[in-house]
Amino acid sequence: MSTTRNYIIVDDDPINNIICKMQLEIALGAINIKTFELPEEGLEFIEKEFVKSPVPTILFLDINMPSISGWEFIDQYEKFIEDVKTQIAIYILSSSVDPRDKDKATANKYIKGFLSKPLDKAIILSIADA
């Protein structure tokens, strides 16, 4: 792997968060992973922590969440300063099969890719080596 990174998972499904975290640990070993079931808490964490000490991070973001959607999360994320945004690579991780979601993800400059749940080792390794 080329760089040490942190990982953030923002998904309202606690089971998916556990699975993602386990898959990341299996694929990459001991790494720093933060999970958030409330997207607002994920945004708050990014806003507070990345201003102080930005670190290269991969963020896996669900689309369909009850409080705010992944798209609303992205709208809020876009308001952060550029120094924060350059440290985070966002990947949509969703069970959505709606082609409009994939198109919307592809059109957004802050979203690096659209991945289908569940996250697997091959995908993790390809992202980690990028």
* Residue 3 pLDDT > 60: no
CATH at 22 = 3.40.50.2300
* Residue 96 pLDDT > 50: yes
- Residue at 105 is within a domain: yes
Mean of per-residue pLDDT scores for the chain: 91
- Residue at 70 is within a domain: yes
φ, ψ at 61 (rounded to 5°): -125, 125
- Residue at 41 is within a domain: yes
What is the total count of domains within the chain? Answer: 1
pLDDT confidence tier of residue 29, bands split at 50, 70 and 90? confident
- Could you list the beta-strand ranges (E) of the chain: 6-10, 33-36, 57-61, 88-94, 111-116
- Residue at 100 is within a domain: yes
- For residues 93 and 61, is the Cβ–Cβ distance under 8 A? yes
How does pLDDT run across 60-94, given as a tens digit for each residue?
999 999 999 999 999 999 999 998 999 999 999 99
Can you give the pLDDT at residue 2?
43
What's the pTM?
Answer: 0.93
The whole domain housing 115 covers 6-128
- Residue at 1 is within a domain: no
